[in-house]
Structure formats: structure tokens, C-alpha cells
Amino acid sequence: MKEEALVRPLSGFRPWLIVGTLVTGAIAGLLFFSWGYQIKNDIGVAGINRPVFWGFYITNFVFWIGISHAGTLISAILRVTSAEWRRPVTRCAEAITVFALSIGGLFPLIHLGRPWLFWFMIPLPNHRGLWPNFRSPLVWDMMAIGTYLTGSVLYLLLPLLPDMAILRDRALAETPQSPRARLFRLLAMGWRGTTQQWHSLEAGIKVMAVVIIPVAVSVHTIVSWDFSMTLQPMWHSTIFGPYFVVGAIYSGIAVLMLAMYLLRRGLGLQEYLSDKVFNNLGLLFVSFTIIWAYFTFAEHLTVWYGSEPSEMAVFWERVSGEYAPIFWGMIVVNVVIPLGVLPFPWGRKPLATAIVGLGVLVGMWIERFLIVVGTLRMPHLDFTVGTYQPSWVEMGVLVGSFGMFAMLYFLFVQFAPIVSIWEVREGDHIASSVPASAQSVGDEA
């Protein structure tokens, strides 16, 4: 088969992949151990207090939901604009979205004081007439994230059908009784590749691509409104909606660059996750650096100019106070380094973009932390100014969440091709049958 590199992880015994799954699985176990400890010993084992009622958990919530915007941008927007270079990238981006959303969606449960009562937020008809409060941004969160998760899973599974069919046919020919063959047959859902089926699939994917874009924008806008709907200093800001969406896409591209680099190295996918793809994504990446920097600058300039006392307390704490080192560190990794590296062709080579992506990942986590904890420490009535020290439980959950993401990815890579085989084939077909002068502009870097 031509795409040997893409199907190699899906059969046979791959020791490194299994070791990777087990190691990351152990780290993911830390998440559940810490959470279980917290449920048994009350929420007080976390470091949050008064007035810092939200800490690492909400930081992580916003962070992971933000990362989930990787898939939407790459898959949906590039599909809708017929950018051909997206073809090798869509599957791994869509996987990032589904896993990041699943992990992000855990955090609203983890941070609850009485998580076993989370179902109070679900509108279940009951004889007491008790409904959730639809005016609460947290209920909007549930609805938005639920919609986005459903949409993203569909958007991952639909284009998976033809690939599952390819794998099913290959497995039926070679190892018909293996568990994986059975899985492929199940997930292929009877795909035969008839013209009718292809039409339906293309239509379905087109609809999903168009629909998922406003859903994704609304999700992170609503998450940002958890903060901006309050009266807290430097939370009550009209810019948060678009600011968070831009930041989400930014962190999503960062994770994508890092993941793509690791996949390229780990699975030998240089032919598919090519230098050209990294180059194009790198250009997209640097444009988001500029947009993010613009929003950050606008937010801080207007706060500083207005000079409102309770907002200035939060502002100075960030710019020159206790959080200054991490604030300026964030500016370095989110603005200075990307702008110093990505505009140059050497800066858009795979390793360079992966390193910049890692920096942005750290920087965007810091941004969420500064927004959540930085404001809560400095309430309106400054007599109750606070401090925050995360406990081992919160650290364990944070580290465990990364382990869980990596473990889900390791598992995915062993059960589905991380580069979409049929889309790459379709792209090659288009490239070879259409004269070079008539190819879509998006193909050129």
C-alpha cells in the first residue's frame, strides 16, 4: 500500500507506542487519584480560599477549552476556504479538539464543592419545578461545550469513515480475526465508497465545517463571559469575548505545531507533515501572535488610561508586583520569541515552530492564570486582599491532565490513521489531474 507510513502504527506490535500509552496513562492516573482524594477529603484540600475562590482548576478549564480550538480552525476554516495544504493536518487537529474538550469538560466537575450534585445544572423535568438558572454563564458553558463536543466528535468521525473502510479492507485481507479488524469494520459503518455515499459524506462534512465555526467562536466567548459578566476589576471587560477566542485559536495552533512535530518525528511522517505544511501553519501562527498581542495591548492600555483604582490594583500587581515575573515571561514567550522567529523561513522549520509552540503553550496557560487569580486576589474592598498557593492536589490534576491528553493521543494513533489517507489521495489526484496554473492559490506557500 502506498501510504505505508500512515498505516504502520495500526497493526502489529509497536513496543514504543505501548510504552508511551502506559507511561502517559500512569500520569493520567495522577489526575484521577488527586481528584478522588479531593472528593474524599473535601474541596478544602485544594489551595483556593477567600477571596481567591477559583484557582488552578478554572485556569485549566479555560486553557483546555482554548486548546480545543485547534481542530476547528484548521479543519473547518481551511476546508471552507479550500486551502489544499490542510489535507495532512485535519485528522490530528480534529483529534486534538475532541481530547482537549473532553479534558476541559472535566474541570467544571473537578472544581465543584459538591460534585455529586452536578446534575442540578442539567434541565431535567422534576415534580418540584426546579430548573437551572439559565441566566448563569455557567449554564451557558454547559450548553455551549456540550454542543461543541457533540459537533467535534461528529466532525472527527465523519471523515474517518472512508479511512476506516480502507483499513477494514486491508485488515480483512491480512488479519481478518484481529480485534482491530473488528473495530475498523464497526467504525467503517458499512462504507462501500459508492458515488451516493461520497456525495452524502461530502455534503455532511461541508455542513459540519460551516456549522462548527460559529459554535467554536461561541464556546470560547461564553467561557470568557464567565469572567466578563461579573463586576470584578479587570474581568468586567467587553474585549474578553474576542480576546479569548483569539487566544484559544493561538494556543490551539501552538499545540498543533508541537503535536505535528512529535508525530512527524515519532512516526516518520515527513512525507505528509511536510516542511511546507509547517511553513504555512507557521505563517498563520505569527499572524495570531500579532492579533493576540494587539488585544493584550488594547486591554492593558485602556485599563491603565482609565486609572480606576480597583482595576489599577490588579494591573500593577501584574505589571510590577508579585506577578510581574510571570506576566513579562508571558510577553516574552507569546510575543517576543514568536515575532523574533516565525517571520523568517528558518523560523518556520518544524523544530523551530514546535519550540515556539511549546513556549506559547506555557504563555497562554500563564495568561489564563493571571486573569483568574490576578483579579480575584484584589477585590473591590481591599481589606480582603488575598494570596493563592496551589496545593499538591491541584498540581496533580494539572500534570495528570497533560498525561491524559497524551495518553488519549497515543491510543488514537494506534487505532486510526493520524493523517487522513483518503483526503491526501484526493489531494494528489487533484494535483495531478489539474494543470499547475489552475491549482488553488492556497496550495502555494
Partner 1 sequence: MTRWGMAIDTDRCTGCGACVVACHAENNIQTVGEQEARNGRAMHWLRIERHYEGSFPDVKVRFTPVLCQHCAAAPCEPVCPVYATYRTPEGLNAMVYSRCIGTRYCANNCPYTVRVFNWHDGEWPEPLERQLNPDVSVRPAGVMEKCTFCVQRIQDAQDIAKDDDREVQDGEVKTACAQSCPARAIVFGDLEDLDSRVTQLARSERASQLLEDLGTHPSVFYLRGGE
Stretch that binds partner 1, among 46-54, 98-106, 335-343, 350-358 (CB under 8 A): 46-54
Which position among 81, 175, 200, 230 is part of the footprint of partner 1 (CB under 8 A)? 230
User: By C-beta, is 1 or 117 nearer to partner 1?
Assistant: 117
Tell me: does residue 309 bind partner 1 (CB under 8 A).
no
Which position among 52, 286, 354, 361 is part of the footprint of partner 1 (CB under 8 A)? 52
User: By C-beta, is 200 or 387 nearer to partner 1?
Assistant: 387
Window 231 to 270, contacts with partner 1 (CB under 8 A):
231-232
Window 121 to 180, contacts with partner 1 (CB under 8 A):
121, 130-133, 135-139, 142
User: By C-beta, is 81 or 136 nearer to partner 1?
Assistant: 136
Stretch that binds partner 1, among 2-10, 41-49, 204-212, 345-353 (CB under 8 A): 41-49
Tell me: does residue 226 bind partner 1 (CB under 8 A).
yes
Which position among 113, 179, 309, 435 is part of the footprint of partner 1 (CB under 8 A)? 113
Which position among 16, 22, 80, 114 is part of the footprint of partner 1 (CB under 8 A)? 114
Please give the size of the binding site for partner 1, defined by CB under 8 A: 45
Which position among 22, 26, 44, 429 is part of the footprint of partner 1 (CB under 8 A)? 44
User: By C-beta, is 37 or 415 nearer to partner 1?
Assistant: 37
Using CA atoms, how far residue 370 sits from 54, 232, 297, 400, in Å, is 12, 14, 15, 21
Tell me: does residue 43 bind partner 1 (CB under 8 A).
yes
Using CA atoms, how far residue 166 sits from 32, 43, 191, 275, in Å, is 36, 49, 9, 27
Tell me: does residue 112 bind partner 1 (CB under 8 A).
yes
User: By C-beta, is 127 or 135 nearer to partner 1?
Assistant: 135
- Cβ burial of 7 (10 Å; 0-12, 13-18, 19+) is middle
Shortest distance, position 53 Cβ to partner 1, whole Å = 4
Contact between 285 and 357 under an 8 Å Cβ cutoff? The reply is yes
Window 362 to 381, contacts with partner 1 (CB under 8 A):
376, 379-381
Shortest distance, position 234 Cβ to partner 1, whole Å = 13
Which position among 49, 218, 274, 440 is part of the footprint of partner 1 (CB under 8 A)? 49
Shortest distance, position 141 Cβ to partner 1, whole Å = 9
Shortest distance, position 247 Cβ to partner 1, whole Å = 20
Tell me: does residue 389 bind partner 1 (CB under 8 A).
yes
User: By C-beta, is 167 or 373 nearer to partner 1?
Assistant: 373
Tell me: does residue 117 bind partner 1 (CB under 8 A).
yes
User: By C-beta, is 108 or 247 nearer to partner 1?
Assistant: 108
User: By C-beta, is 178 or 230 nearer to partner 1?
Assistant: 230
Which position among 23, 25, 37, 115 is part of the footprint of partner 1 (CB under 8 A)? 115
Three-state helix/strand/coil letters over the chain: CCCHHHHHHHCCCCHHHHHHHHHHHHHHHHHHHHHHHHHHHCHHHCCCCCCCCCCHHHHHHHHHHHHCHHHHHHHHHHHHCCCHHHCCCHHHHHHHHHHHHHHHCCHHHHCCCCHHHHHHHCCCCCCCCCCCCCCCHHHHHHHHHHHHHHHHHHHHHHHHHHHHHHHHHHHHHHCCCCHHHHHHHHHHCCCCCCHHHHHHHHHHHHHHHHHHHHHHHHHHHHHHHHHHCCCCCCCCCCCHHHHHHHHHHHHHHHHHHHHHHHHHHHHCCCCCCCHHHHHHHHHHHHHHHHHHHHHHHHHHHHHHHHCCHHHHHHHHHHHCCCCHHHHHHHHHHHHHHHHHHCCCHHHHCHHHHHHHHHHHHHHHHHHHHHHHHHHHCCCCCHHHCCCCCCCHHHHHHHHHHHHHHHHHHHHHHHHCCCCCHHHHHHHHHHHHHCCHHHCCHHHCC
d(CA 72, CA 93) in angstroms, rounded, equals: 8
Which position among 195, 307, 383, 437 is part of the footprint of partner 1 (CB under 8 A)? 383
**What CA dihedral angle connects 21, 363, 100 and 148, to 10 degrees?**
-170
Which position among 42, 202, 271, 322 is part of the footprint of partner 1 (CB under 8 A)? 42
Task: Using CB under 8 A, list all residues that contact partner 1.
Answer: 42-44, 47-54, 108, 111-115, 117-118, 120-121, 130-133, 135-139, 142, 226, 229-232, 376, 379-381, 383-384, 386-387, 389
